[in-house]
Amino acid sequence: MTERVVLAYSGGLDTSVAIGWIAEETGAEVVAVAVDLGQGGEDLDTIRKRALDCGAVDAVVADARDEFAEQYCLPALQANALYQDRYPLVSALSRPVIVKHLAEAAKYHGATTVAHGCTGKGNDQVRFEVGIGALAPDLKVLAPVRDFAWTREKAIVWAEERNLPIDVNKKSPYSVDQNVWGRAVETGFLEDIWNAPIEDVYSYTANPAEPRDADEVIITFDKGVPVAIDGETVTVLQAIQQLNSRAGAQGIGRLDMVEDRLVGIKSREIYEAPGAIALITAHQELENVTLERDAARFKRQVEQRWGELVYDGLWFSPLKDALDAFITKSQEYVSGEIRMVLHAGRAVVNGRRSEDSLYDFNLATYDEGDAFDQTLAKGFVQLWGLPSKIAAKRDLQRGHS
């Protein structure tokens, strides 16, 4: 029986060339797997036909938009996940869902190997291969671009010699990866970190400097899940899509950052994530209202580690599973409404309300109706500072200032 290789297929030059190259070099049949994560662009049926025309024995196209939103983007939202306090894990979140579909396709088609088109410099090689190792440890992995030093020029020659049905002449100055959670842009003139990005780089967001009217939006959450926009019920996917449109029109969610890649190098990345940034901003503020102080403080530590694990390709890991359980528990009372003004590149919260709020007006007010017993404060302050006071006395006795 002929061996089969399941290939993560994007429809671009490298993965289209990989179909025929794998078949020629290994003698294996190639099954192409394309996953719709809300990235837009070409229709998946077009991509499926291209894979078959390039020599795939079968092509699987999966509409995973709702799955991605509910099982991957939502946990990231509830974790307020921002790698290096800024990056909302646009590409990192998409890799485990693609890996899941690759593993399922490999099992269904009896494949022994999974292939991807990642280079040796990026994070994605780790995310794909570690994910496959966790879900299907018996599968082998093939990475033609990385392991056989492919260049774009070599791929173009290979495609032209075999008359592959792909446009090999049009070359974007950027490398772009996108899905419904956001868009990542790198390479080209952006590799000089002194060069400012130009408007041509952006697609999900309008120029925040252009004059426009502000947009006020109310987002309703139920146990950490966005369930309505301006009172209209939405799915998680619809919430992201609507805020991509509305926040994107206000130029919200643009990031220009130098980040620490897992492989040890620094990389300059341009991100657009209007829906993700708007939702995380709203969710964080609702947690400020509904989470008890120590739980909130500890959750911020969990959030940072959760984001690092996902960025580093460890979605399918025991530690992330354990942190997921904590985050899920923390969302028990994160219900209510957040009102935000979207304008000039910023999402600014200006209203909060929740039946599970821990904000007590009568305790917080300085006006009539104040229910806070200030006579208790003096003893509290004295006891709170007692350890520091005792230590300070010791230091003075020992001659330390």
Question: What are the C-alpha distances in Å from 202 to residues 32, 256, 263, 269, 342?
Answer: 30, 11, 27, 12, 18
CATH architecture of the domain with residue range 176-291+333-353:
Alpha-Beta Complex (3.90)
The answer to whether the beta carbons of residues 180 and 74 sit under 8 Å apart is no
322 Cβ neighbours under 8 A, 6+ residues apart: none
Q: Which residue has the tokens 């041509």?
A: 200
Task: Give the integer Cα–Cα distance in Å for 287 and 295.
Answer: 10
Report the binding-site residues for L-citrulline.
87, 123, 127, 175, 259, 271
Confidence of residue 368 (pLDDT cuts 50, 70, 90): confident
pLDDT beyond 70 at 76? yes
Average pLDDT estimate for 357-377: 86
pLDDT beyond 80 at 205? yes
- 396 CB-contact burial (10 Å; exposed 0-12 / middle 13-18 / buried 19+): exposed
Q: Are strands 58-63 and 29-36 parallel, antiparallel or unpaired?
A: parallel
Report the binding-site residues for L-aspartate.
119, 123-124
Per the DSSP assignment, residues forming a β-bridge with 348 are 341
pLDDT beyond 80 at 172? no
Q: What is the pTM of this model?
A: 0.94
Residues annotated as catalytic are: 14, 95, 124, 175
Give percent above pLDDT 70 in the chain: 98
Report the binding-site residues for ATP.
8-16, 117
Look at residue 210 in the predicted model and tell me its pLDDT: 95
Domains of the chain, by residue range, sit at: 4-171, 176-291+333-353
Question: What are the C-alpha distances in Å from 56 to residues 6, 28, 239, 277, 278?
Answer: 10, 10, 36, 39, 41
The token pair that represents 176 in the structure block = 């772009």
CA dihedral 63, 65, 68, 73 (to 10 degrees): 170
Average pLDDT estimate for 175-196: 94
pLDDT beyond 70 at 352? yes
CATH topology of domain 4-171: Rossmann fold (3.40.50)
- DSSP state for residue 396 in the 8-state scheme: H
Look at residue 152 in the predicted model and tell me its pLDDT: 74
The token pair that represents 57 in the structure block = 């024995």
Instruction: Give 26-86 as a DSSP string.
Output: H--EEEEEEEESS--SS-HHHHHHHHHHTT-SEEEEEE-HHHHIIIIIHHHHHTT--BTTT
Q: Is the dihedral of CA 174, 175, 178, 183 positive or negative?
A: negative
Look at residue 42 in the predicted model and tell me its pLDDT: 75
Report the binding-site residues.
8-16, 87, 117, 119, 123-124, 127, 175, 259, 271
Length reported for the chain: 401
Confidence of residue 364 (pLDDT cuts 50, 70, 90): confident
The token pair that represents 11 in the structure block = 């429809």
* Run of H or E residues at 197: none
Look at residue 401 in the predicted model and tell me its pLDDT: 64
Confidence of residue 170 (pLDDT cuts 50, 70, 90): low
